[in-house]
């Protein structure tokens, strides 16, 4: 559609003002795209904005470091916050609104409601970070009421998150299209992430192991290897680079259950820690004639 407003984006913190603006634009026949983020924007976020701009007349980007999706001892306090630099990046891309609420704008004092998704939210990140996906689902639902867009854009980088959001939207009948966009990477393959800023030079070098393990998984998958042999190969790459592994798995792409014997799209998922930095990545694997 090639939308995108000229000039300064409007910065809003009030959910009711945000909602009024979006509803007015939609009433005027404008298709509105929404990119939810936690800020510290990089080229991965920018690619979502560009896709939204291509599909929609107007684009809104939220910047909100959501406390309810961080567990105790996680990096909520030190998560990078850089609204000015983020605003400059978004100005250059013709974004109409930046929605940057404070915690108290989004969650009323004494809030006692959370959205709980089961199914795709249970394994992997859900098992390692209890409450994380409930926090994600809660904030995404809350953001969708403040910002009732036609479509919302999410990165395949957080594969399991896309499944959780899609399931919530389906189950609750939320009136928004979910669009999943490809992962943007550094030249050596490391997936762009706001958390990469935590890595020191040595860990930054080791971090390429995640992508290498996924490329190996892809090669072995196409060669017809059994899932457990692929997973073993992935673990070997990660351990050789000193990544403290949370999981390395090949599962059905939509259910995250075991890969069935009939041809099914799969996904290789990997998560691990380098020092105090936790990184995740994944690669989609197309259906192959005979999964084991």
Tell me the catalytic residues.
45
Q: Which long-range contacts (CB under 8 A, 24 or more apart) does 246-250 make?
A: 246/128, 246/271, 246/272, 246/273, 246/278, 247/124, 247/128, 247/271, 248/213, 248/272, 249/124, 250/217, 250/221, 250/285
Tell me how many residues contact ligand AMP (CB under 6 A).
17
Q: Does 193 bind ligand AMP (CB under 6 A)?
A: yes
| Rounded CA separation 126/256 (Å) | 12
Stretch of 6-14, 192-200, 209-217, 223-231 lying at the interface with ligand AMP (CB under 6 A): 192-200
Minimal distance, residue 185 CB to ligand AMP, in Å: 7
Minimal distance, residue 265 CB to ligand AMP, in Å: 19
For the segment 144-183, give every residue that binds ligand AMP (CB under 6 A).
154-155, 157-158, 181, 183
3-class secondary-structure state, position 275: coil
Q: Does 135 bind ligand AMP (CB under 6 A)?
A: no
- Residue from 32, 137, 184, 220 touching ligand AMP (CB under 6 A): that is 184
Minimal distance, residue 207 CB to ligand AMP, in Å: 13
For the segment 34-93, give every residue that binds ligand AMP (CB under 6 A).
37-38, 44-45, 47-48
| Tokens (6 digits) for 215 | 């490329």
- What does the CA dihedral 138, 142, 145, 151 come to, rounded to 10 degrees? -70
Stretch of 52-60, 188-196, 205-213, 251-259 lying at the interface with ligand AMP (CB under 6 A): 188-196
| Cα 95–chain centre separation | 20
| Rounded CA separation 119/163 (Å) | 9
Cβ-proximal residues to 187 (8 Å cutoff; 6+ apart), any chain? none
Q: Are 51 and 181 in contact (CB under 8 A)?
A: yes
Minimal distance, residue 109 CB to ligand AMP, in Å: 25
- Residue from 53, 62, 134, 194 touching ligand AMP (CB under 6 A): that is 194
Nearer to ligand AMP, 186 or 239 (CB): 186
Minimal distance, residue 45 CB to ligand AMP, in Å: 5
Question: What residues make contact with ligand AMP under the rule CB under 6 A?
Answer: 37-38, 44-45, 47-48, 154-155, 157-158, 181, 183-184, 191-194
């Amino acid at each position: 559609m090639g939308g995108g407003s000229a000039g300064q984006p409007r910065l809003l913190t009030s959910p009711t003002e945000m909602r009024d603006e979006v509803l007015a634009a939609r009433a005027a026949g404008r298709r509105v795209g929404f990119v939810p983020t936690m800020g510290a924007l990089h080229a991965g976020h920018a690619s979502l904005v560009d896709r939204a701009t291509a599909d929609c007349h107007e684009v809104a980007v939220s910047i909100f470091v959501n406390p309810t999706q961080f567990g105790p001892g996680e990096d909520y306090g030190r998560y990078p916050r850089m609204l000015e630099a983020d605003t400059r990046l978004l100005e250059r891309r013709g974004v109409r609104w930046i929605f940057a609420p404070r915690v108290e704008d989004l969650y009323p004092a004494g809030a006692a409601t959370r959205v709980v998704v089961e199914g795709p939210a249970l394994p992997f990140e859900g098992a390692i970070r209890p409450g994380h996906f409930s926090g994600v689902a809660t904030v995404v639902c809350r953001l969708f009421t403040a910002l009732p867009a036609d479509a919302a854009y999410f990165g395949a980088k957080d594969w399991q998150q896309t499944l959780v959001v899609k399931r919530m939207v389906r189950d609750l009948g939320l009136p928004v299209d979910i669009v999943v966009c490809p992962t943007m990477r550094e030249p050596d393959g490391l997936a762009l992430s706001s958390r990469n800023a935590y890595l020191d030079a040595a860990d930054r070098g080791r971090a390429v192991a995640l992508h290498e393990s996924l490329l190996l998984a892809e090669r072995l998958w196409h060669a017809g290897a059994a899932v457990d042999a692929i997973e073993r190969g992935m673990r070997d790459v990660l351990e050789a680079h000193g990544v403290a592994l949370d999981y390395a798995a090949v599962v059905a792409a939509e259910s995250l259950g075991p890969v069935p014997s009939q041809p099914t799209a799969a996904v290789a998922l990997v998560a691990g820690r380098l020092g105090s930095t936790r990184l995740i990545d994944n690669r989609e694997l197309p259906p192959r004639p005979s999964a084991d």
